Amino acid sequence: MRWRRRSDTSTKETAMRGFALSILLFVAPACSAAVALDSLSLPSGFHIEVYADAVPNARELVRGANGTVFVGSRDAGKVYALTDAGHEGKPARVRVVASGLQMPSGITFHDGDLYIGAVSRILVLRDIEQHLDDPPKPIVVTNKLPDKTHHGWKFLAFGPDGRLYVPTGAPCNVCKPGKDFAKLISMKADGSDWRDVALGIRNSVGFDWQPGTQQLWFTDNGRDELGDDLPSDELNRITRTGEHFGFPYCHQGDTLDPEFGKGKSCKDYTPPVLKLGAHVASLGMRFYTGTMFPAAYRGAAIIAEHGSWNRSKKSGYRVMTVRLDGSRVLGYEPLIDGFQHDEIAQGRPADVLVMPDGALLVSDDLVGAVYRVSYAAPMPSAKK
């Protein structure tokens, strides 16, 4: 199940969503990080382990200057701090540094402070790593973002220009969203000087700046209710300010919307760099900047695919590698697969984060865990 609300609010649809949520709440407690790990597959030489457990609804990941890993949640309404990972072979210690917030899935760290996206508000915890046991009260940076909760949760990041980048998803499955939605904006760290960065973005929950080019790339979730195989989620690249990526008129760069695409042409909008697959729910993405993984992974985009909720056969439920040569795609292949078996979800990856040693952290909001992926070259087989 991909947990995105739909624009149809009929009694039937509401009942179906309620039933799906009841299944999610029933299944989640029965899952464990150990169960998920037993079913996962990775390329030769890669190893996966539990970095932290007891992190309910773990979503966006960010690392503080002193090594604390912070984790936002969507449904839990909390922000967590993970420390002492691997101490005596145990998972990281988990603290709650903020609670009672509205969908605080998006977090980012800047100049010692932790920024939190909570739908209409951006909050900040000042000097947070010095106060993990007595976290400060959140300070409001801005409270002027749209208050719609449909696609209202955030993914936050500070760019190379020192500005805070914030998406505002479309408040619907598909609609004419209005000037305040379906776009990516940036602002100063104090919440002032808002600027539109890109338009026509249905719901981006992951973006990063490509090393070398410093261009911003982002994932975008395609609309629902066009069947199992349309439209694809997207990996996109911004080449100019104000660029329009098609929503709600054109999907996946080549498919006009049956309602809103009338009289439009897909040629007028920027197509994706890569179609990621229909309903895979592409969320967090980062460029791999470490040196631990083999050379083919360096500079690749790594994407957490949360997994479908509305296909007759599930798609996604994996972490994917997009190997690149500049803007040219060389390959699209799994790094971690097996978060679902026999149409039953055992985990749902939500974000990825490259650590200073080159290992990769992966959050799982179904199990409530964070994993660490590392690499060691396989030993050559002995000659007989």
206-234 tens-digit pLDDT? 999 999 999 999 999 999 999 999 999 99
Identify whether 6 is part of a domain. no
String of DSSP letters for 348-372: -EEEEEE-TTS-EEEEETTTTEEEE
pLDDT tops 60 at residue 96: yes
**Which contiguous run of DSSP H or E holds residue 35?**
helix 33-38
151-165 tens-digit pLDDT? 999 999 999 999 999
Q: Cβ distance 234 to 200 under 8 Å?
A: no
CA 198 to chain centre: 18
Q: What is the pTM of this model?
A: 0.90
**pLDDT the model gives residue 183:** 98
- Ranges of beta strands (E only) in 160-269 are 164-168, 183-187, 195-199, 207-209, 216-220, 232-237, 243-244, 250-251, 255-256
pLDDT tops 70 at residue 29: no
Query: CA–CA separation, 36 vs 313, rounded Å?
Result: 20
Q: Which is more confidently placed, 170 or 16?
A: 170
Type of residue at 79: V
Identify whether 15 is part of a domain. no
Query: CA–CA separation, 384 vs 361, rounded Å?
Result: 39
Q: Which of 20, 52, 19, 25 is nearest to 364 (CA)?
A: 52
Identify whether 120 is part of a domain. yes
Give the Cβ contact number of residue 93 at 10 Å: 14
For tokens 């479908």, the residue is 308
Kindly state the tokens that stand for 102: 């509205």
Type of residue at 107: I
Identify whether 289 is part of a domain. yes
**Bridge partners (DSSP) listed for residue 358:** none
Identify whether 130 is part of a domain. yes
Which residues span the domain enclosing 318? Answer: 30-375
Q: Cβ distance 31 to 323 under 8 Å?
A: no
3-state secondary structure of 13: helix
The answer to whether the peptide bond before residue 294 is cis (omega within 30 degrees of 0) is: no
The separation between the first and the last C-alpha atoms of the chain, rounded to the nearest angstrom, is 50
Query: CA–CA separation, 46 vs 358, rounded Å?
Result: 12
Average pLDDT of span 268-288: 98
- CATH number, domain at 113? 2.120.10.30
Domain count of the fold of the chain: 1
Average pLDDT of span 168-180: 97
Q: Cβ distance 271 to 194 under 8 Å?
A: no
pLDDT tops 50 at residue 148: yes
Identify whether 232 is part of a domain. yes
Query: CA–CA separation, 19 vs 256, rounded Å?
Result: 32
Confidence bin at 36 (pLDDT 50/70/90): low
Q: Which of 207, 144, 208 is nearest to 180 (CA)?
A: 144
Identify whether 104 is part of a domain. yes
Identify whether 220 is part of a domain. yes
Average pLDDT of span 199-205: 98
**pLDDT the model gives residue 382:** 59
